């Protein structure tokens, strides 16, 4: 695990409630492509269910990070692509199962008109820094 420094509210910037404004780290950079709510066989998990989709996406992120020798402790940035901002509470709940509030990464949430398949409600990508 890389030693990360979090700056939740830089001078002159309003404090964030659900993310950290700045995360600094040194080490090996890991980029995880946007993960979708698919199981190991490519089947959709949770059709129409943002909670089930969020849980699956975070499980996929966990597995991808592990393949790179990383964990959620190493994540410095998450980007959420959602078809409806109303899905953010489900995403936050799934995130809370993996990342405690005192280690929140930098984050961005973007509402999109559509994802690669219409049944996908979200796609989430991660960036991590792992100690060398």
Is position 115 within any domain?
Answer: yes
60 in a structural domain: yes
Q: Where are the beta strands (DSSP E) in 14-121?
A: 22-25, 28-35, 75-82, 106-111
Ranges assigned E (strand) in 54-119: 75-82, 106-111
Q: Please check the confidence at residue 108 and state whether its pLDDT lies above 70.
A: yes
Q: Please report whether residue 45 resides in a domain.
A: yes
Write out pLDDT tens, residues 24-69.
Answer: 888 999 999 999 999 999 999 999 999 999 999 999 999 999 999 9
pTM of the model: 0.93
Which tens digits make up the pLDDT trace of 88-104? Answer: 999 999 999 999 999 99
In a domain, 2, yes or no: no
The answer to whether position 62 is within a domain reads yes
Residue 33 lies in a domain: yes
Answer whether residue 32 is part of any domain: yes
CATH of the domain at 71: 3.30.1330.40
Hey, is 48 helix, strand or coil?
coil
Reported as a pLDDT band with limits 50, 70 and 90, residue 10 is: very high
Question: Which structural domain, as residue segments, surrounds residue 121?
Answer: 18-130
In a domain, 6, yes or no: no
Domain count of the chain?
1
């Amino acid at each position: 695990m890389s030693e990360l420094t979090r700056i939740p509210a830089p001078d002159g910037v309003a404090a964030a409630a659900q993310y950290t404004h700045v995360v600094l780290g040194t080490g090996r950079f890991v980029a995880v492509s946007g993960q979708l709510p698919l199981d190991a066989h490519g089947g959709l998990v949770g059709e129409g269910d943002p909670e089930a989709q969020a849980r699956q996406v975070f499980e996929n992120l966990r597995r991808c990070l592990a393949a790179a020798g990383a964990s959620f402790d190493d994540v410095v940035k998450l980007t959420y692509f959602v078809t409806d901002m109303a899905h953010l509470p489900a995403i936050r709940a799934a995130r809370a199962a993996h990342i405690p509030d005192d280690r929140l990464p930098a984050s961005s949430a973007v509402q999109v008109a559509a994802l690669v398949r219409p049944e996908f409600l979200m796609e989430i990508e991660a960036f991590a820094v792992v100690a060398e």
